[in-house]
Chain A
Amino acid sequence: MTEIVATNIISPLGRTTEQNFRAVACGRTALSHYGCRGSFPGPFTAAAFGPESIAELAVEGFTRFESLVISSVEEALSRTDVDTSSDRCLFILSTTKADVEQLGCDSSEDGAYLAPGAAARKIARHLGFVNDPLVVCNACISGVTAQVLAHRLLSAGYYDTAVVCGADCLSDFALAGFSSFKSLSERECRPFDIERNGLNLGEAAATVVLRRCVDAVQGCLAPEKSWKISSCSLNNDAYHVSAPSPDGDGALSAINETMTGRDCSALSLLNVHGTATMFNDQMESRAVERAGLSDVPASALKGYFGHTLGASGLLESIISMSAADAGTVPATRGFSQGGVSGRINVSAESRECCTADVLKISSGFGGCNGAILYSKDGRGCGPAKAGASEAKTLHTVRITPQRVELDGKISETDSTCGRVTLDGLYRNHGWDYPRFHKMDSMGKLLFAATELLVSACPFSAEETGRAVLLFNASSSVLSDRRHIASYSGESGFFPSPSVFLYTLPNVAVGEIAIRYGIKGETSLMILDGRNDHLMDAVVDATLKLSDAENMITGWLDCPSEDEFIADLKFLSR
Chain B
Amino acid sequence: MEELVNELKKYLIEALNLEEMTPDDIDSDAPLFGEGLGLDSIDALELIVILDKNYGIKLSSPAEGKNIFRSIRTIAAYVAEHRTR
Residues in chain A within 8 A of chain B (CB atoms): 180-182, 240-243, 434, 437-438, 492, 494-498, 501
Contact = CB atoms under 8 A, between A and B. Distances in A.
Given A181-B45, A240-B40, A494-B49, 7 more contacts: A182-B60, A241-B42, A243-B41, A434-B18, A496-B49, A498-B17, A498-B46
Contact of B49 (A240, A243, A497): A497
A498 B15 CA distance: 9
A494 B20 CA distance: 25
A548 to B, nearest CB: 29
Contact of B19 (A181, A241, A437, A498): A437
Secondary structure of the B contact surface, majority rule: helix
B15 A496 contact: yes
A453 to B, nearest CB: 24
A437 B49 contact: no
Contact of B62 (A182, A240, A495): A182
Given A240-B40, A497-B42, A180 B49 contact: yes
B61 interface: yes
A438 B16 contact: yes
B58 to A, nearest CB: 11
A42 to B, nearest CB: 14
Given A437-B17, A438-B17, A182 B53 contact: no
B42 A242 contact: yes
A242 B42 CA distance: 8
Interface string B42-54: 1101101100110
Interface string B16-42: 111110000000000000000000111
Contacts of A240: 40-41
A241 B41 CA distance: 10
B16 to A, nearest CB: 7
B52 A498 contact: no
Contacts of B15: 496, 498
Nearest to A242: B42
Interface in B49-69: 49, 52-53, 60-62
Nearest to A438: B17
Contacts of B16: 438, 498
Nearest to B48: A182
B46 A497 contact: yes
B61 A182 contact: yes
A242 B53 contact: no
B46 A492 contact: no
B61 to A, nearest CB: 5
Given A182-B60, A494-B49, A501 B19 contact: no
Contacts of A437: 17-20
Nearest to A486: B49
Contact of B53 (A241, A492, A497): A492
A483 to B, nearest CB: 12
B22 to A, nearest CB: 14
A551 B78 CA distance: 49
Contacts of A180: 45, 49
A240 B42 CA distance: 10
B40 to A, nearest CB: 7
Given A182-B60, A240-B40, A497 B17 contact: no
B17 to A, nearest CB: 4
A366 to B, nearest CB: 13
A339 to B, nearest CB: 15
Contacts of A501: 42
A42 B60 CA distance: 13
Nearest to B45: A497
B56 to A, nearest CB: 11
Nearest to A198: B61
A325 to B, nearest CB: 41
A113 to B, nearest CB: 26
14 contacts: A180-B45, A182-B45, A182-B60, A240-B41, A434-B19, A437-B20, A492-B53, A496-B46, A497-B42, A497-B46, A497-B49, A498-B15, A498-B16, A498-B45
A242 B40 CA distance: 11
Given A182-B61, A182-B62, A498 B42 contact: yes
Nearest to B53: A494
A501 B41 CA distance: 12
A469 to B, nearest CB: 26
A402 B17 CA distance: 26
Contacts of A496: 15, 46, 49
A182 B19 CA distance: 26
A181 B45 CA distance: 7
A496 B45 CA distance: 8
Contacts of B17: 437-438, 498
Contacts of B52: 494
A438 B62 CA distance: 20
Contacts of A494: 49, 52-53
A256 B48 CA distance: 39
B44 to A, nearest CB: 9
Contacts of B53: 492, 494
A498 B16 CA distance: 8
B71 to A, nearest CB: 19
Nearest to B52: A494
Contacts of A497: 42, 45-46, 49
Contacts of B18: 434, 437
A434 B43 CA distance: 13
A438 to B, nearest CB: 5
Contacts of B19: 434, 437
Contacts of B42: 241-242, 497-498, 501
